Amino acid sequence: MHHLLRATSALILTLALAACGSGTSSSPAASVGPATASAPSAAPATAGAPSTAPSAAGGGGSAACAAAAAGSAPTVTVTMKNIAYSPAAVTAKVGDVIGWMNNDTTPHTATLDDNTCTTEIINVGASGALTFSAPGTYAYHCTIHPAIMKGTITITG
């Protein structure tokens, strides 16, 4: 009888532990992404390493945002200083490189408001860059300071 009780207890404990480690998540971050379909990478961010997640944001359908090619010089530069983007609103053409330089005392990001494209974390003294392949207006923010650090990117044809 003791063996049956012990085996049953072990089976219940094993099932309970397996359920806890199933790898599924019901957190809101798991459903954020293009049209809320996939999440940005949860891997640790490196300074200025942009995400290449496609963007569905903007004013013109299925626009795309991607990391700028390594070594690309920015066509438009945004400075991060005093927990603000300067300038807060920029205009660029399709294919232009938009760069962010962190001249602040704390890390920042440049992340589209729909979370589909991001520079990841840009550490102090580092930079990140993105390009857009479709016209539109893209609101963005710093994921570390979302309430106060906001900007807008207008992409023209």
Domains of the chain: 49-157 (2.60.40.420)
Distance of CA 20 to the CA centre of its chain: 27
Mean pLDDT (the chain) is 72
Q: Is 2 exposed, middle or buried (0-12, 13-18, 19+ CB in 10 A)?
A: exposed
- Indicate if the pLDDT at residue 137 is higher than 80: yes
Res 46: pLDDT: 36
When pLDDT is averaged across residues 3-20 and rounded to a whole number, the result is 40
In our burial notation (b when 16+ CB lie closer than 10 A, e otherwise), range 10-35 reads: eeeeeeeeeeeeeeeeeeeeeeebbe
Threshold 0.85, pTM exceeds: no
Res 23: pLDDT: 36
- Indicate if the pLDDT at residue 115 is higher than 70: yes
Res 12: pLDDT: 41
Q: pLDDT tens across 27-79, in order?
A: 333 223 332 222 333 333 334 444 433 333 333 333 489 988 888 999 999 99
pLDDT top residue among 69 and 145: 145
Res 67: pLDDT: 87
